Amino acid sequence: MSLQGKTALVTGSTSGIGLGIALSLAKAGANLVLNGFGDASAAITEVAKHGGKVGHHPADVSSPEQIAEMIANAERDFGGIDILVNNAGIQHVAPVDEFPVERWDSIIAINLSSVFHATRLALPGMRSRGWGRIVNIASVHGLVGSVNKAAYVAAKHGVIGLTKVVALETATTNITCNALCPGWVLTPLVQQQIDQRALADGDLDRARRDLLAEKQPSLEFVTPGQLGELVLFLSSDAASQVRGAAWNVDGGWLAQ
């Protein structure tokens, strides 16, 4: 499929899943607005290899003002956002009665409220151009819980609820809104959890195997590229009646 002439904004695309999705969109011909922390130059170079226009905005998506500035810049420099992928997210693992209040607040701001702000600010442009795709990167934790992930699970359940509302409010238009719900994907966010598990005996391989074995029957990680291919499908005409879905990609996690 060709996304030539379309512009995609992927939040949190300087690493991990966001970068994988940005690469898939760029390979299909889309122009890309990247976002995320850290040195963005490697991500920009990699995405730019595919020939489209590439920019990066360093907005901290916990700030509604910075999201607004990022979207206004994208509209000015790229002519609008056709595909919005709300991907930026963080994790913190602790029992609920020990969960640091400031970590709760930042997980809700980054993993949930940013999806609301980016969506409300990108939608008017999509409506005026008569086409749009919004893909929210939720998680299996938007559909089931796990211990020690109170804020993350609450935020991801919220993302799926928001996805359904936006899908209904756009149901008679050429704009769709869906969520992807990955199981384990080996990114810096998950590597931190593997490192934490390996603290006791330093055996990273065992920590990785145990992490998969607890939840993911395939015993294999989902890849960012596989999620990128799904974003391409959701951006296609074939997916124009896929609305408000929460599509799990989880090696069988939710089949149990």
Active site residues: 152
12: contact with ligand NAD by CB under 6 A: yes
Quick one: which of 7, 31, 87, 178 contacts ligand NAD (CB under 6 A)? 87
Quick one: which of 52, 89, 132, 228 contacts ligand NAD (CB under 6 A)? 89
42 Cα distance to chain centroid: 19
Quick one: which of 8, 32, 84, 137 contacts ligand NAD (CB under 6 A)? 137
Residue closer to ligand NAD, measured from CB, 45 or 240: 45
Residue closer to ligand NAD, measured from CB, 186 or 239: 186
Residue closer to ligand NAD, measured from CB, 5 or 100: 100
Query: In terms of residues, how long is the chain?
Result: 256
Orientation of helix 16-27 relative to helix 224-234, angle to 10° = 50
Nearest approach in angstroms of CB 69 to ligand NAD is 13
88: contact with ligand NAD by CB under 6 A: yes
16: contact with ligand NAD by CB under 6 A: yes
110: contact with ligand NAD by CB under 6 A: yes
Angle (nearest 5°) at CA 247 between 212 and 40: 75
Q: Can you list the positions of beta strands (E) in the chain? A: 7-10, 31-35, 54-57, 83-86, 132-137, 175-182, 246-249
112: contact with ligand NAD by CB under 6 A: no
What is d(CA 57, CA 73) in angstroms, rounded to the nearest whole number?
8
What is d(CA 183, CA 128) in angstroms, rounded to the nearest whole number?
35
125: contact with ligand NAD by CB under 6 A: no
113: contact with ligand NAD by CB under 6 A: no
What is d(CA 232, CA 22) in angstroms, rounded to the nearest whole number?
10
What is d(CA 228, CA 194) in angstroms, rounded to the nearest whole number?
24
Contact set with ligand NAD (CB under 6 A)? 11-18, 35-38, 60-62, 87-90, 110-111, 137, 139, 182, 184-185, 187-190
